[in-house]
Amino acid sequence: MLAVVPSATLYGLDGRSIRVEVDVAPGLPGFTIVGLADTAVQEARERVRGAIRNAGFTFPPRRTTVNLAPAELRKTGTSLDLAMAIGILLGSEQVRSGSGPVALLGELGLGGEVRPLPGTLPMVAAIAKRGIGRVVVATMAADEARLVDEVDVIAVATLAEAAEVVRGRRARRVPVAMPRVTISGVGSVVGEPAGSGSIREGEVVDLAEVRGQAEARRGLEIALAGEHGLLLTGPPGVGKTLLARTIPGLLPPLGDEAARSVSIVASATGEGPIHSLRRRAPFRAPHHTLSYAAMVGGGPNLTPGEVTRADRGVLFLDELAEFDRDVLEALRQPLEDGRVLIVRAGRAMTFPARFQLVAAMNPCPCGFAGSEPEGRCRCTPGEVERYDRRVSGPLRDRLDIWVSMPRIHAAALVAAREPEGSAVVAARIADARDIAVLERGRLNGRLRGRALRRACRLSGEAACRAVDLAEADVASGRGTERLLRVARTIADLAGSSAVAADHLEEAAWYRSQASRASALLAS
């Protein structure tokens, strides 16, 4: 007998609605899956077989064929397990459908338990779009599935419970002695893979813990207020990473649209079950050994990379000069367009990648150039220059704010004023961002060309100063735009509607060491 069960798979960041067709026919016992199923889907045969038997049903000793439609779409992952098992139960008439259409999403364990999946949110959204009003998911994934409005979510813990739902008898919980196992099925990555860059709640640092470094604190505040690219340079141990760890506490909460987008990415990349919309901007700090595919996304299943995981948030690259050149160059497109296009043989996919780049590096290979005691740096001037040049020109141009973090003397630390905490600074950042979005529709870091010039409203004196300062920054023709963008943000932080000369003067400060050195000669 033929049974058709709706389900879905994950394709990149999108859910794709799938019809699972099961035909249980007379013939030699066998179990075949057709319809471009990858290895994880083929392995479902063993999970489904075990789950059916251990849930107290019988695997039909007949010729069982599963077709996954649309057949031309490549299916990956384990989201179809539950639908296949129910299909077999329906096809072998062990369960009779006593309810309306219901979609099923879940990975099965051999004991019959239903497990949550990465990508529940986009998959449920795809089912809703198909017009199916009810969906069965694993208990742990229920909160995530309920983020989709138009769908009635039914949580089940086991295959038997799911069968009850299909029968139309709801909710008598069938107690099953289910072993507490850690969830690590093929394709289902729950929890953080080693070396990945998400920051945990407890690792967010308050800005008050960073002593001294006035220049860097100010630079960070401007960068976050305007979503400007930021580079911190300094010897090891001056607190570059510590400062970066304050960022999650300084960013304002995300709006609805951004929160949905971030939640979908978090869901699809398997960051664990989501219980409510993610309002905190992502902060990703991948290690410098990561591969090209891990940065931009890709792989056989077109998995989103770090640039997409940092969408609407901050991508922090510690030890910038240690990253592979290819990996850094790959950042140029997303930095410009806010999205990344991945093309693989026969398939292309666009992922969102609107992130703010924050990077840190040492001034030279040994890290001690320009720091005390003199002569601690053992690098030759040529080595220092080459190290600096590892950050290519185009990437440099996209870093609006460069700050140096010198080693601070203990005496200076004691004498310094009590530093501001995150809450105070975060409020200023949020205000400046509100002004920018209200008046210009976007953050200043994304202003270009005429929109930028319109936004700056320079007085005569300020315009002269702008020309003067831009000429000093001889490194790049983009210098002027960079200067105006940063000055606009400084003016916003100061609550000034026009960009004044002293805003420009401060903005001119945040340029690269290289252009600082060459400006020395030009003047």
Partner 1 sequence: MLPRCWPPDVLGVSATGPLADVEARAPAPWVAETPDPYAAERDAWTILTAAHGLGPLGFGALLTRFRTGRRILEVARGPDPIQRLMETPPVHERAGGRERPIGPAVAQAVVDAAEIGEATIRRVRQLGVRVLTVEEPAYPARLAAIAMPPHVLFVTGDPAALSMQRAVAVVGTRRATSAGRTTAGRVASALVAAEAAVISGLAFGIDGAAHEATVRAGGRTVAVIGGGHASLGPHAHTRLAAAIVAAGGAVVSELAPDVAPSRGTFPRRNRIISGLADATVVIEAPARSGALITASWALEQGRECFLVPGGLDAPASAGCLSFLREFRDAHVVAGVPQLIADLGFARPTQAGDALVNATSRTLGATEAQVASALVAGRITVDELVADTDLPVATVLAALTMLERRGLAAGVYGRYRPAGPLLGEVPRPKPR
CB of residue 420 vs partner 1: minimum separation in angstroms? 11
Nearest to 86 by CA among 132, 20, 30: 20
Q: Which stretch binds partner 1 (CB under 8 A): 49-57, 67-75, 285-293, 369-377?
A: 369-377
How far apart are alpha carbons 243 and 225 in whole angstroms?
Answer: 16
Q: Which of 192, 385, 439, 461 binds partner 1 (CB under 8 A)?
A: 385
Q: Which of 7, 79, 120, 371 binds partner 1 (CB under 8 A)?
A: 371
CB of residue 381 vs partner 1: minimum separation in angstroms? 4
Task: Verify binding: residue 485, partner 1, rule CB under 8 A.
Answer: no
In the bound state with partner 1, the residue whose beta carbon lies nearer, of 51 and 508, is: 508
In 150-273, alpha helices (H)? 159-167, 214-226, 240-244, 247-250, 256-268
CB of residue 417 vs partner 1: minimum separation in angstroms? 8
**What three-state secondary structure class fits 236?**
coil
Task: Verify binding: residue 516, partner 1, rule CB under 8 A.
Answer: yes
Question: φ, ψ for residue 414 (rounded to 5)?
Answer: -65, -40
In the bound state with partner 1, the residue whose beta carbon lies nearer, of 13 and 405, is: 405
Within positions 222 to 251, which residues make up the interface with partner 1, using CB under 8 A? Answer: 233-235
CB count in 10 Å sphere of residue 211? 15
Task: Verify binding: residue 416, partner 1, rule CB under 8 A.
Answer: yes
Task: Verify binding: residue 26, partner 1, rule CB under 8 A.
Answer: no
CB count in 10 Å sphere of residue 337? 12
In the bound state with partner 1, the residue whose beta carbon lies nearer, of 211 and 280, is: 211
Q: Which of 146, 217, 312, 396 binds partner 1 (CB under 8 A)?
A: 217
Q: Which of 202, 415, 438, 449 binds partner 1 (CB under 8 A)?
A: 415
How far apart are alpha carbons 33 and 26 in whole angstroms?
Answer: 17
Q: Which of 174, 406, 421, 430 binds partner 1 (CB under 8 A)?
A: 406
**What three-state secondary structure class fits 301?**
coil
Q: Which of 137, 490, 492, 499 binds partner 1 (CB under 8 A)?
A: 490
Task: Verify binding: residue 502, partner 1, rule CB under 8 A.
Answer: yes
CB of residue 466 vs partner 1: minimum separation in angstroms? 12
Within positions 442 to 481, which residues make up the interface with partner 1, using CB under 8 A? Answer: 468-469, 472
- Virtual torsion, Cα 39, 189, 322, 207, nearest 10 deg: 160
In the bound state with partner 1, the residue whose beta carbon lies nearer, of 339 and 407, is: 407
As to burial, measured by CB atoms within 10 angstroms (0-12 exposed, 13-18 middle, 19+ buried), residue 514 is middle
Helix (H) or strand (E) holding 108: strand 107-108
Q: Which of 301, 324, 446, 509 binds partner 1 (CB under 8 A)?
A: 509
| Concatenated DSSP letters of 3-34 | EEEEEEEEETTEEEEEEEEEEEESSS-EEEEE
Q: Are 95 and 58 in contact (CB under 8 A)?
A: no
In the bound state with partner 1, the residue whose beta carbon lies nearer, of 81 and 481, is: 481
Q: Are 112 and 49 in contact (CB under 8 A)?
A: no
Q: Which of 179, 375, 449, 460 binds partner 1 (CB under 8 A)?
A: 375
**Between the CA of residue 99 and those of 88, 130, 133, 134, 159, what are the distances in Å?**
17, 18, 12, 10, 17
By DSSP bridging, strand 2-11 and strand 14-25 are antiparallel
In the bound state with partner 1, the residue whose beta carbon lies nearer, of 307 and 475, is: 475
In the bound state with partner 1, the residue whose beta carbon lies nearer, of 364 and 455, is: 364
How far apart are alpha carbons 273 and 266 in whole angstroms?
Answer: 9
Q: Which residues pair with 115 in a beta bridge?
A: 107
CB of residue 407 vs partner 1: minimum separation in angstroms? 9
CB of residue 228 vs partner 1: minimum separation in angstroms? 15
Instruction: Say how many residues touch partner 1, by CB under 8 A.
Output: 47
Within positions 345 to 364, which residues make up the interface with partner 1, using CB under 8 A? Answer: 363
Tokens of 149: 């409005």
**What three-state secondary structure class fits 2?**
strand
CB of residue 392 vs partner 1: minimum separation in angstroms? 17
Cis amide leading into 70 (omega within 30): yes
Task: Verify binding: residue 381, partner 1, rule CB under 8 A.
Answer: yes
Task: Verify binding: residue 499, partner 1, rule CB under 8 A.
Answer: no
Q: Which of 110, 189, 408, 463 binds partner 1 (CB under 8 A)?
A: 408
Q: Which of 182, 374, 418, 460 binds partner 1 (CB under 8 A)?
A: 374
Q: Are 68 and 37 in contact (CB under 8 A)?
A: yes
Q: Which of 369, 391, 432, 435 binds partner 1 (CB under 8 A)?
A: 369
**Between the CA of residue 71 and those of 20, 59, 102, 445, what are the distances in Å?**
10, 25, 21, 45
Task: Verify binding: residue 513, partner 1, rule CB under 8 A.
Answer: yes
Helix (H) or strand (E) holding 50: helix 44-54
Residues that bind partner 1 (CB under 8 A): 212-215, 217-218, 233-235, 363, 369-371, 374-375, 380-382, 385, 403-406, 408, 412, 415-417, 468-469, 472, 490, 494, 502, 505-506, 508-509, 513, 516-523
